[in-house]
Chain A
């Protein structure tokens, strides 16, 4: 009986600690979102997702603008059709990586034109991918495989 009470207290304390820790964790992220560690699980991104996120990183865009932007980003090498675009957008919305903008008040919501912007999590994901790519390019650079690749911060 002598050991029982301190052990109980210790466990109780531990439970409180866990609860507080959980509360802090929950406060630091909104619901249905991923942690940074989970985020890394998504890398590397598919080209479609990468380019859509990249396009939205410059500011909010509507569907067709994203399509055009992606084509320009890649000099026309990678083109998204409406099907692929919105199929990807659906998943990105569901995962909380991007969000849809409410139409401005006073404006009649136009059925066909919807505007999206990057959510914080999407921003993090894009950043993570960019970091990964940067590492990869630096690796390529150090091995001197390609002569004309220039990575920010490096000088030839």
Chain B
């Protein structure tokens, strides 16, 4: 508190502060101590109020005294008499200087401020509720703005960021998706365009990093040597890349991110020049990026740990137009706009399509491959854009509801004060003067609300930074917020908050002020009007409250649907038992476990698993099995809910067809081969497992046998299918003993079905993962010891990833530590990507949804509470206004229950109207959410009717207090009151 007071002191002139500051703080502290000992929090709160008022009033007085050339605080009342009053008495034609006019305004302003503050202080209940309401509304908006600003609006820390663009290939209609650029197209673009200064290539990849403290899996951007020059960022330590770094003969160089530098090298500046190993091959660190540097795009996803200089080899330039490999990053020439660049690239794309129709055009539709030129700025935040914009909309709604509430309160107050206003108008206060007086009060409310809002926003942002979904280093799934570390409330946030305050004042303050001052003063003074003539005017206030109820109900229904989805996913049977299972995800270094053949180092190379691979997996499993308290151990290449960094690594599907059937029954990933009657695609997922996997995971074996260690390279090929696949291929008959042809890697294999197991939910709960899950018809499990012999380089991760699952009875930490120790012994250079309980990885998979639920839930909760306060306020006011009428009714024989029914009835009519509008609004709005819903229809009747009922019920309760108050009206007292 006393620190707060020190901040307030800053408002005083410096000389005064130097002379009396310490004494004032002491006086405040004494006051505070006394207030606390005497009567606790309430009084301390009153003290805070008084002190703010004291500061505002005194500082305003001081500044004005300074302007007026007065010696200081007035001693005599003669000194406090404003100059303008004297001047006003002069004949109207008398000359008056500009300074005098300003003084007049300042005097009036000061009086308005003092008066406004005093009138707020006289109604601490009203002032507190109004300011809190505004603080919540403004705070929510300021916090969301801070996020939106960091993620979407504020330019990235590059040199002239507007000129940095990302180039994608754009697929032909109807998909029009942005895709990776084929190498040959990239080089043609680079040579033919006249709009870019230079163009770099960028490719996302993962690698095992060794040579630092602990081997780890890192996310790397492979870029050409001109990348840092184009982006316009200098290394913080060392240098960026030079064009020479892309020459194939030189040893590859790396620039590491600030975060990796801190994490893996403990911020040691001597790391520049050191050699590290990425996937076993040596790389020299040449530089470290600044802390705030990041380069993201939709396709490559999250924040890279390091940048590797990619050699631009002749092979890369060779005529390969079919497969996209990387992104183009370019800098616009000075004066060239994004549109001009797009137009130029459209022309080049059309020319390339004409030259290479086979690769760059679709013969049937005549459409051809396009180029999309997008600014790097927009690309960085675009993954989180829908959620951030959605949150902004929600926060806007909350502010709107807050404004309606405060406007309602002001209207009610203005009505209650109408006699005061009429009196002052009758005594000669001009209409403009009255409007200004009332507006000043609104401004005061908004400023105080804004200050409170800023405080709330800071708390909110702190909470977000602590618990929000930070993008993990690597490719993210779902909706982690990129650039989250940039979020903070700065000058831009303050400006935005100020603008919000101004808008708020206009929204909630102007109408009541105009309304209150615009009326005929004599009518206000007439007493009879108060009891009946007001009913008409209640109408629009009731509509406002109904709108509030409707808006908050829309939000509540949205949250209800998301919550229902969350509950459904949380409780959904996943086909296995996660309890007591520990998962260790290991990346085996490919140089030792795989052999490369064919065109080495290119996309045409073929990777084959070495025998040591299966051996090492078996060693790990056998060793962990011997740990005390461990009941069973197995390994799988892609574990359910692994939420792997790359979505690619979670899809591992292949060609399969049943021997002896038509080829049209192929099931394949990504190519429409098999479609059912409704035209849906079907996929089969492929997994490699060790024996005992189904037992460890508690997946039921429905028929046949488990795999065994003897199903190795020498033995005939076997496969276990799940029920989904068995029912798809062999409906009504047993799958056991049937033979399928499967293409694994680049080779076809004939496999015999030896077992059928239950279906498992594999990919997690992100919207795209759910979509994929629904398209997967079934799963096939083959033994680790019978792996594919030929894999393309981009798919090798499927083989090098090993997830060891162990079911245990003892403490999780102990098991985890022992597992890690065993791996270190067997292979000290294999990084552990993840070591956690299965339950934990499921929870992590739901974390984004939980976060969304939390954010949207708090917004709609706030909105609902504000709306209920609105209902309460209007009913309470109405009862207050109608005391006379109620008194007459009761004097004439109305019973208390009748009065209660009347008030509650009126309130519930308003709430029901609001609920009706809310349901209609939600019908339209929840469609936007459909992507995030699962197992719940966007118009789920239970959620709609239930929440509408809850809202109306709560509104009826909110009417209860005023109703009871009305029923206790004493007819005699109420009649005397007039």
Binding site for B on A (CB under 8 A): 41-46, 48-49, 63-64, 67-68, 79-92, 94-95, 97, 111-114
Please report the C-alpha to C-alpha distance between residue A92 and residue B955 in the assembled complex, in whole angstroms. 57
A-B contact pairs, 13 of them (CB 8 A): A44-B77, A46-B75, A46-B77, A49-B73, A67-B27, A82-B51, A83-B12, A83-B59, A86-B24, A87-B62, A91-B71, A91-B72, A112-B23
Closest to B24 in A: A82
User: Which one of A42, A63, A80, A85 lies within 8 Å of B76 (CB-CB)?
Assistant: A42
| Chain A residue contacts of B31, Cβ below 8 A | 64, 67, 82
Q: Do A83 and B55 form a contact, CB below 8 Å, given A67-B27, A94-B71, A112-B25?
A: yes
**Interface 1/0s, chain B 53-68, versus A by CB < 8 A?**
1110111011000000
3 residue pairs, one from A and one from B, having the closest CB atoms: A81-B54, A112-B26, A83-B58
B19 at the interface (CB under 8 A from A): yes
User: Which one of B58, B59, B74 lies within 8 Å of A46 (CB-CB)?
Assistant: B74
Cβ < 8 Å to A, chain B residues 1-56: 12, 16, 19-20, 22-28, 30-31, 34, 50-51, 53-55
Q: Do A91 and B75 form a contact, CB below 8 Å, given A63-B26, A82-B24, A86-B20?
A: yes
Shortest Cβ gap from A16 to chain B (Å): 36
B968 at the interface (CB under 8 A from A): no
Closest to B33 in A: A64
B50:A85 contact, CB within 8 angstroms: no
Q: Do A113 and B26 form a contact, CB below 8 Å, given A79-B50, A81-B50?
A: yes
Please report the C-alpha to C-alpha distance between residue A41 and residue B62 in the assembled complex, in whole angstroms. 22
B80 at the interface (CB under 8 A from A): yes
Please report the C-alpha to C-alpha distance between residue A66 and residue B34 in the assembled complex, in whole angstroms. 14
| Chain A residue contacts of B54, Cβ below 8 A | 80-84
A81:B58 contact, CB within 8 angstroms: yes
B19:A90 contact, CB within 8 angstroms: yes
Closest to A89 in B: B20
| Chain A residue contacts of B12, Cβ below 8 A | 83
**Interface 1/0s, chain B 75-102, versus A by CB < 8 A?**
1111110000000000000000000000
Q: Do A43 and B61 form a contact, CB below 8 Å, given A63-B27, A113-B26?
A: no
Please report the C-alpha to C-alpha distance between residue A114 and residue B71 in the assembled complex, in whole angstroms. 22
Please report the C-alpha to C-alpha distance between residue A91 and residue B22 in the assembled complex, in whole angstroms. 18
Please report the C-alpha to C-alpha distance between residue A46 and residue B79 in the assembled complex, in whole angstroms. 9
| Chain B residue contacts of A84, Cβ below 8 A | 54, 57-58, 73
User: Which one of A67, A90, A112 lies within 8 Å of B73 (CB-CB)?
Assistant: A90
| Chain A residue contacts of B16, Cβ below 8 A | 86-87, 90
B72:A97 contact, CB within 8 angstroms: no
| Chain B residue contacts of A112, Cβ below 8 A | 22-23, 25-27
B75:A87 contact, CB within 8 angstroms: no
Q: Do A111 and B76 form a contact, CB below 8 Å, given A79-B50, A81-B53?
A: no
| Chain B residue contacts of A67, Cβ below 8 A | 27, 31
User: Which one of A42, A44, A46, A64 lies within 8 Å of B30 (CB-CB)?
Assistant: A64
Shortest Cβ gap from A44 to chain B (Å): 5
Closest to A88 in B: B73
B72:A85 contact, CB within 8 angstroms: no
| Chain B residue contacts of A44, Cβ below 8 A | 76-78
Please report the C-alpha to C-alpha distance between residue A97 and residue B75 in the assembled complex, in whole angstroms. 10
Shortest Cβ gap from B56 to chain A (Å): 9
| Chain A residue contacts of B19, Cβ below 8 A | 90
Shortest Cβ gap from B66 to chain A (Å): 12
Q: Do A82 and B75 form a contact, CB below 8 Å, given A87-B62, A89-B20, A111-B22?
A: no
Please report the C-alpha to C-alpha distance between residue A86 and residue B26 in the assembled complex, in whole angstroms. 12
Closest to A92 in B: B75
Shortest Cβ gap from A125 to chain B (Å): 8
Please report the C-alpha to C-alpha distance between residue A97 and residue B72 in the assembled complex, in whole angstroms. 14
B75:A45 contact, CB within 8 angstroms: yes
B73:A45 contact, CB within 8 angstroms: no
B77:A85 contact, CB within 8 angstroms: no
**Interface 1/0s, chain B 882-912, versus A by CB < 8 A?**
0000000000000000000000000000000
Shortest Cβ gap from A48 to chain B (Å): 7
| Chain B residue contacts of A63, Cβ below 8 A | 23-24, 26-27
Closest to B80 in A: A46
A83:B24 contact, CB within 8 angstroms: yes
Shortest Cβ gap from A12 to chain B (Å): 40
Shortest Cβ gap from B357 to chain A (Å): 82
| Chain B residue contacts of A82, Cβ below 8 A | 23-25, 27-28, 31, 51, 54
Q: Do A114 and B75 form a contact, CB below 8 Å, given A81-B58, A83-B54?
A: no
A45:B76 contact, CB within 8 angstroms: yes
| Chain B residue contacts of A48, Cβ below 8 A | 73
| Chain A residue contacts of B73, Cβ below 8 A | 46, 48-49, 84, 87-88, 90-92
Please report the C-alpha to C-alpha distance between residue A95 and residue B16 in the assembled complex, in whole angstroms. 16
Closest to B74 in A: A46
Q: Do A42 and B75 form a contact, CB below 8 Å, given A81-B51, A82-B24?
A: yes
Shortest Cβ gap from B4 to chain A (Å): 13
Shortest Cβ gap from B138 to chain A (Å): 26
Shortest Cβ gap from A128 to chain B (Å): 11
| Chain A residue contacts of B61, Cβ below 8 A | 87
Listed residue (B22, B53, B73) with the most chain A CB atoms within 10 angstroms of its CB: B73
Shortest Cβ gap from A33 to chain B (Å): 14
Closest to B17 in A: A86
Please report the C-alpha to C-alpha distance between residue A89 and residue B19 in the assembled complex, in whole angstroms. 11
| Chain B residue contacts of A95, Cβ below 8 A | 75
Shortest Cβ gap from B609 to chain A (Å): 78
B27:A64 contact, CB within 8 angstroms: yes
Please report the C-alpha to C-alpha distance between residue A92 and residue B61 in the assembled complex, in whole angstroms. 16
| Chain A residue contacts of B34, Cβ below 8 A | 68
Closest to B30 in A: A64
Please report the C-alpha to C-alpha distance between residue A113 and residue B29 in the assembled complex, in whole angstroms. 11
Please report the C-alpha to C-alpha distance between residue A46 and residue B74 in the assembled complex, in whole angstroms. 7
| Chain A residue contacts of B20, Cβ below 8 A | 86, 89-90
**Interface 1/0s, chain B 654-698, versus A by CB < 8 A?**
000000000000000000000000000000000000000000000
Please report the C-alpha to C-alpha distance between residue A43 and residue B74 in the assembled complex, in whole angstroms. 11
Given A45-B75, A90-B20; 16 other pairs, CB 8 A cutoff: A42-B78, A46-B73, A64-B26, A67-B27, A79-B50, A81-B55, A82-B24, A82-B27, A83-B57, A86-B20, A87-B72, A90-B72, A90-B73, A111-B26, A112-B25, A113-B26
| Chain B residue contacts of A79, Cβ below 8 A | 50
Shortest Cβ gap from B22 to chain A (Å): 4
| Chain A residue contacts of B76, Cβ below 8 A | 41-46, 49
| Chain A residue contacts of B22, Cβ below 8 A | 111-112
Please report the C-alpha to C-alpha distance between residue A63 and residue B51 in the assembled complex, in whole angstroms. 15
Please report the C-alpha to C-alpha distance between residue A113 and residue B76 in the assembled complex, in whole angstroms. 27
Closest to B70 in A: A91
| Chain A residue contacts of B25, Cβ below 8 A | 82, 112
Closest to A85 in B: B27
Please report the C-alpha to C-alpha distance between residue A103 and residue B16 in the assembled complex, in whole angstroms. 21
Closest to A81 in B: B54
Please report the C-alpha to C-alpha distance between residue A63 and residue B50 in the assembled complex, in whole angstroms. 17
Shortest Cβ gap from B669 to chain A (Å): 73
| Chain B residue contacts of A83, Cβ below 8 A | 12, 24, 54-55, 57-59
A49:B75 contact, CB within 8 angstroms: yes
Shortest Cβ gap from A81 to chain B (Å): 2
Please report the C-alpha to C-alpha distance between residue A41 and residue B71 in the assembled complex, in whole angstroms. 16
Shortest Cβ gap from A117 to chain B (Å): 15
B59:A113 contact, CB within 8 angstroms: no
Please report the C-alpha to C-alpha distance between residue A35 and residue B23 in the assembled complex, in whole angstroms. 31
